[in-house]
Amino acid sequence: MPSNATPPARRRTSIGSRRNPETAAAVLAAARELLIEKGYAGFSVEEVARRAGAGKPSIYRWWPTKADLFVTLYGAEKTAAILVPDLGRVVDDLTRYTASLWRFWRTNPAGGAFRGLIAEAQTSEAALAALRVKFLPERLEPLRTIFGRAVERNDLNAADVEDRIALWVGFNWFRLLTDHVDDDVQAIARAMEIIAGPRASGPPGRPRSGSAR
């Protein structure tokens, strides 16, 4: 995608009654830049339109919600970004994947886009729906893959997976939303060891032995 965004943007003209991919690209490029420059605060559809040399209605035609724009933006960045590791041990996979994800969040506008999406979801019902229905299921695929392998290896109980995924997501959100997605791999690893660890079950008072799985 050419960086034809910020200056008034070379004149694009309509290509008729089908969507103009150049326009879409220009909008996304402008949104990307804006996110880098100003973060989620200071992000506005108005400004995106200005930079992209697009009309606001053209943006609203394709992204009826700011959230939709963030989703697309995030998707565009994520494409071909993070490999799902397969190191034979679930904690290692989780740690590496999480560390990669955080690096991605730190170095791309994606992190900002995601923060924006979550913030938006607090304000708009539509954004919340987008987050829950369109975004999360798709983005959690890698996690399911990693945990799925662990289940196949009999390292984890299949019934646990959703709970562990919820913990993983929460951990990541917490760090992202408090702007703490650093590169402390040790800290990540420690959290992952708990997420992937055995349950603390058994009779009260005795935290149990031979626990999980």
Partner DNA sequence: ACGTAAGCGAGACGGTACGTCAGGTCTTAGG
Partner DNA sequence: CCTAAGACCTGACGTACCGTCTCGCTTACGT
Q: Give the binding site for DNA (CB under 7 A).
A: 11-20, 22-24, 26, 42, 44-47, 52-58, 60-62, 64-66, 124
Q: Which is closer to DNA, CB of 121 or CB of 196?
A: 121
Shortest separation between residue 3's beta carbon and a copy of itself, angstroms: 26
Shortest distance, position 160 Cβ to a copy of itself, whole Å? 7
Residues 142-181 that bind a copy of itself (CB under 8 A): 154-157, 160, 163-164, 166-167, 169-175, 177-179
Please choose which of a copy of itself, DNA, none residue 200 contacts, taking the beta carbon within 5 to 8 angstroms, the exact cut-off set by kind.
a copy of itself
Q: Which is nearer to a copy of itself, 1 or 194 (CB)?
A: 194
Write the CB contacts of 185 (distance below 8 Å, at least 6 apart in sequence): 95, 99
CB of 6 to a copy of itself, least distance (A): 23
**Residue closer to a copy of itself, measured from CB, 108 or 172:** 172
Q: Does 44 bind a copy of itself (CB under 8 A)?
A: no
Q: Which residues contact 67 (CB under 8 A, 6 or more apart)?
A: 117, 120, 121, 124, 126, 127, 130, 131
Written as one string, the DSSP assignment of the chain is: -----SSS-PPP---SSS--HHHHHHHHHHHHHHHHHH-STT--HHHHHHHHT--HHHHHHH-SSHHHHHHHHHHHHHTTT------SSHHHHHHHHHHHHHHHHHHSHHHHHHHHHHHHHHH-HHHHHIIIIIIHHHHTHHHHHHHHHHHHTTSS-GGGHHHHHHHHHHHHHHHHHTT-----HHHHHHHHHHHTS----SSTT---SS---
Positions in 22-41 near a copy of itself (CB under 8 A): 40-41
CB of 57 to DNA, least distance (A): 3
Cβ atoms of 91 and 196 closer than 8 Å: yes
- CB of 190 vs a copy of itself, minimal distance in Å: 5
Please say which residue, 3 or 201, places its beta carbon nearer to DNA.
Answer: 3
**Number of residues counted as binding a copy of itself (CB under 8 A):** 62
Q: Which residues of the shown chain bind a copy of itself in the complex (CB under 8 A)?
A: 40-41, 87-92, 115-116, 118-119, 121-125, 128, 131-132, 136, 154-157, 160, 163-164, 166-167, 169-175, 177-179, 187, 190-201, 204-205, 207-213
